[in-house]
Chains A and B, each alone.
Chain A
Amino acid sequence: MTDRPFGASLKRVEDARLITGNGRYTNNLYQPGMLHLAVVRSPYAHARILSIDTAEAAGMPGVMGVFTGQELRDAGFGGIPCAWVVPDSDTKTPEHPPIAVDTVRYVGDAVAIVVAETEQQARDATYAVDVDYDVLDAVTDGRGATADGAPQLHDDVENNLCFHWTVSGGDIDAAFAAADVVVTETIINQRLIPVAMEPRAALARWDVAMEELTLWVTSQNPHIARFLLSLDTGIPEHKIRVIAPDVGGGFGSKIAHYPEDSMVIFASQKTGRPVKWNESRSENFLATTHGRDHHQEVEMAATSDGKILGLRAKVWANLGAYLSTASTGVPTILHGLMLSGAYTLPAVHEDVYGVFTNTTPVDAYRGAGRPEATFMVERMMDLVAQKIGMDPVEVRRKNLIPPFTEGHEVITGLVYDTGNYEPALDLAMEMVDYPALRKRQAQLREQGRYIGIGVVTYTEICGLGPSEVAGAVGFGGGLWESAIVRFHPSGKVNVMVGVSPHGQGEGTTFAQIVGDQLGLPVGDVEIIYGDTDLTPMGWGTYGSRTTPVASGAIMGAIAKIKDKGVKIAAHLLEASTEDIEFADGKFSVKGSRDKSMTIQDIALAANTAWDMPQGVEPGLEASAFFNPSNFVYPFGTHIAVVEVDPETGEIELQRYAAVDDCGPIINPMIVEGQIHGGIVQGVGQALWEEAGYDEKGSLVTGTLMDYAIPKAESFPSFELGKTETPTPVNPLGVKGVGETGTIASTPTVYNAVMDALLPFGVKTIDMPMTPERVWRAIRDAEGGH
């Protein structure tokens, strides 16, 4: 076997510029004549705007103008659209003005904008804008906001209820009636702040002469941004160019079309000059979408020997003050349909209530709905295990879906693509020597030390996705992908794709695919993404879709290239097309290996077109679109070992082993990096992170001094293993892996801590499991001593 690019841990092409300080982040960009925009934001969670006095600010040094929501409205800027409206759920879509006009609905809601020569001048002037508010009562919790008498955020949205969505399968009442054991739990899947290291920024250049807009923006999906902007700015789509240059992380928080996009466009049109905006981290905490925020009331029914009979839940999903781009799909389709997890679940029923509150809008955040499902399922599995006195691994084994290669339908109606869960579980158990761990746990307990072991067997839905399903579930676009593979006369290749990676490394891995398939040096292939003028329509990077879906389009284009290459080679080598074979970058006549042409020869020939076969056009370029037939479902087992200090409540994560199956691996180094990062973010939710509001609706965790994202010192080295179960959904058989770490690690660590605390009789702890919460739980369980 030669050294194939596919499967090799090649170093990334993205790194050369990023390790030398040459990253092209949006806030680094400069346009001649550029002005700066700063936003005046409401300090109140809920208030009527009585008046806005911009006179003083407008007179400050360098200020070109101060504008309000009404002026944007008058200029034809409409409300920010929600691009995912879940059907059959009575979903309400109240208006979301880019700048509030009469009512502010969350702390951070925009009230006015200042445009000035420098960023400093713009920010200074925001303090001089005088807004008179009539402060109203605010409500911040999703469950409480549906109660009668709670402050109402939007007209025509009674009880702040945006939607009521259900998923049902099997006979849930019978399941509970037949149960030997029912476990019940209230789970708070707490609100999180994504904290991508790069705060958002946007730079708009309105070309007055051409009546064209260029918008550089920190987006995970520039084509979606272009489409949505064409709907609410009045600028036709074909006159808009959106460029996502280097983007410093997204994790879902850079999917949305944000109000600031509209603001900079308006300001550029108004002044005739480019306008840039960038948020500070404090603004990011207020104005960039949050994640999760479910209140879940859950019951699981089981037999006394550990067979799961049914899962029933009521969920209040806090959507924040306005609908963000994908808001309604995250707590419904991406969540409720995954309640079966990796198990055979005979019956399910979930009610999800989407609720508006006076908080920052909530949208996708790494895992987007699946962490909220997986945590629920995995927690309940452990509770069942405890109730019947069975090892939590044994309970899982009893219920794991048996191996399948041709689709397996689960109770929610989803058809999982492929799965082989037990070998992953066995491998993880072997890696940690699970029986030895349990022995050690028992020994340490006798010494008054408390370690805990958490095991999670998961599968998740990603590789969004089949466009028919997208349409059926109310997503406002397709979920297919596109690629153009273009050979230049010299034989070098550009591949233009509709996805938009921002750290995940497809600039490298896609070149590996092309190099591997076409026998090219990987360095001869450059992947182009992120610019709507240069790339075909596509749907961006989120939901672990970039590799499983875009690789399908790339393979489709490659197939066309090979096909055309065969025709040209046959013609030039004077053979029939059936006698041409392609291997290692060469087209050869079968049985006559010296009669061959390299693909570079073919590229030159096709581009000069001096001698082309009949009916074959010049050029060596192919475009393909790939609409996957299904989502893909990576899976695996994660195991964590923690030690809890019962005196202080401190938790030490001692070991973390992860076995993940994402099918064939293009670049092991990059896949491992995705898993490392995903694990750490999920542990952040379990142990440290929570976005907290006070009763007035102020975000009390307003900076990185209060909101604790994980640090290096809190982690051991990770132990990674893998199994490889391809999917038939795309030609390479690959599944996504960008979110699996996060989805699995939160319940893995949570269950480990609860396992450690079993001797104390602790039943539940709300995340994050801070030392105080752990200490109190122990104290309260011990009867207050």
Chain B
Amino acid sequence: MKVSITVNGAPHEADIEPRRLLVDFLRDDLGLKGTNIGCDTSQCGACTVHVNGRPVKSCTILAVQADDASVTTIEGLSGNGQLHPMQEAFREMHGLQCGFCTSGMIMAAVKLVEDGGDLSELGIRHGLEGNLCRCTGYENIVRSIQHVVREMAAHAPLEGDEAMEHHRTLREAEEMAGRRQS
């Protein structure tokens, strides 16, 4: 089947089998190897890209479903030789170790922050439900995202916020526990 998909701003025409997953199209047909495949049941999120501005697991969408769509992969996140602030944050805060989950994690994190919503530590942790990491224990991924949130909000890092964060987490935990007593 013939499709037209714009990937990282560049239009592509292709004739592909319906069963070709978007992730395989990106990796093998377009040579964009930055998006990784970590599972086969749509849990791990390593394959997350943006389709029409939304975070999507590219292993759970056929390339033909992305016909006429605009797709952004990790390769398209930086521009003009400059890294996206989320990429910078992951390096700054050590949000990756082996790197295999990182492309999908960064793509998901970008949308998490852009969409707004609850960007407290707990909100960020819940927002990462669709992305698994086995190396980092998530701590520094959360800090990377918080770094971006802070930079966006205040253009300057807060002082002592790590400690404040911990105490707030503890308070939240108590409140949650309190709510369970009905």
Contacts and interface: CB of A to CB of B under 8 A. Distances in A.
Q: Establish whether A and B are touching in the complex (CB under 8 Å).
A: yes
B98 interface: yes
Contacts of B181: 447-449
Interface string B124-167: 11101101111111111110000000000000000000100110
Interface residues of B, number: 64
Interface string B94-137: 10111111110010000000000000011011101101111111
Interface in A238-266: 246-249, 251
B97 to A, nearest CB: 4
Interface in A669-723: 669-670, 672-673, 675-681, 703-705, 709-713, 715-719
Contacts of B139: 672-673, 676, 715, 717-718
A503 B169 contact: no
B14 to A, nearest CB: 15
B135 to A, nearest CB: 5
Interface in B68-101: 73-75, 77-78, 83, 87, 90-92, 94, 96-101
Given A449-B177, A712-B129, A21 B38 contact: no
Interface string A491-522: 00000000000111100000000000000000
B90 A680 contact: no
Nearest to A15: B91
Nearest to B96: A18
A16 B43 CA distance: 26
A198 B91 contact: no
A298 interface: no
Interface string A646-683: 00000010110000000000000110110111111100
Contacts of A704: 39, 41, 43-44, 132
B94 A12 contact: yes
A270 B114 CA distance: 52
A652 B169 CA distance: 12
Contacts of A22: 34
A198 B177 contact: no
Given A22-B34, A704-B44, A719 B166 contact: yes
B170 A654 contact: yes
Interface of B is mostly: loop
Contacts of B101: 197, 248
Given A15-B91, A713-B125, A20 B137 contact: no
Contacts, number: 199
A745 B162 CA distance: 22
A281 B38 contact: yes
Given A20-B87, A23-B99, A198-B98, A716 B170 contact: yes
Given A502-B98, A677-B97, A716-B169, A21 B74 contact: yes
Interface string A1-25: 0000000010110111111111101
A20 B99 contact: no
Contacts of A719: 166
A716 B173 contact: yes
A67 B27 CA distance: 28
A31 interface: no
Given A249-B134, A676-B137, A677-B134, A19 B87 contact: yes
Contacts of B15: none
B177 A673 contact: no
B74 A196 contact: no
B66 interface: no
A199 interface: yes
Contact of B41 (A195, A281, A717): A281
A643 B178 CA distance: 11
B5 interface: no
Contacts of A673: 94, 97, 135-137, 139-140
B74 to A, nearest CB: 4
A672 B137 CA distance: 10
Contacts of A654: 170, 173
Contacts of B75: 20-21
Contacts of A14: 99
Nearest to A448: B181
29 contacts: A12-B94, A19-B90, A21-B35, A21-B103, A23-B33, A23-B102, A28-B27, A28-B33, A196-B98, A197-B36, A197-B44, A197-B98, A246-B99, A248-B98, A249-B98, A503-B97, A672-B139, A673-B94, A673-B135, A677-B137, A680-B138, A703-B40, A709-B132, A712-B125, A712-B129, A712-B138, A717-B121, A717-B139, A719-B166
Interface of B: 17, 27, 32-41, 43-44, 46, 73-75, 77-78, 83, 87, 90-92, 94, 96-103, 106, 121-122, 124-126, 128-129, 131-142, 162, 165-166, 169-170, 173, 176-177, 180-181
Given A197-B36, A199-B38, A712-B128, 8 more contacts: A21-B73, A197-B100, A249-B100, A645-B180, A672-B94, A677-B134, A704-B43, A705-B43
